[in-house]
Amino acid sequence: MTDTIDSRLAALGVVLPSPAAPAANYVPCVTTGNLLFVSGQLPIGAKGIEVVGKLGAGVSSDDGRAAARLCAINVLAQARAALGDLERIVRVVKLVGFVNCTGDFADQPKVVNGASDFLVDALGERGRHARSAVGVASLPFGAAVEVEAILEIA
Domains of the chain: 5-10+26-153 (3.30.1330.40)
DSSP state of 8: H
Q: What's residue 2's pLDDT?
A: 67
* Strand order through the sheet with 89-100: 29-32, 35-41, 145-153, 89-100, 130-136
- The answer to whether the beta carbons of residues 36 and 151 sit under 8 Å apart is yes
Q: Which helix (H) or strand (E) holds 81?
A: helix 61-83
pLDDT, tens digit (0-9, with 9 covering 90-100), for 69-128: 999 999 999 999 999 999 999 999 999 999 999 999 999 999 999 999 999 999 999 999
pLDDT for position 1:
46
Whether residue 138 has pLDDT greater than 50: yes
pLDDT of residue 23: 85
Q: Kindly report, residue by residue over 19-65, the tens digit of the pLDDT.
A: 989 989 999 999 999 999 999 999 999 999 999 999 999 999 999 99
Q: Give the DSSP H or E segment for 115.
A: helix 108-123
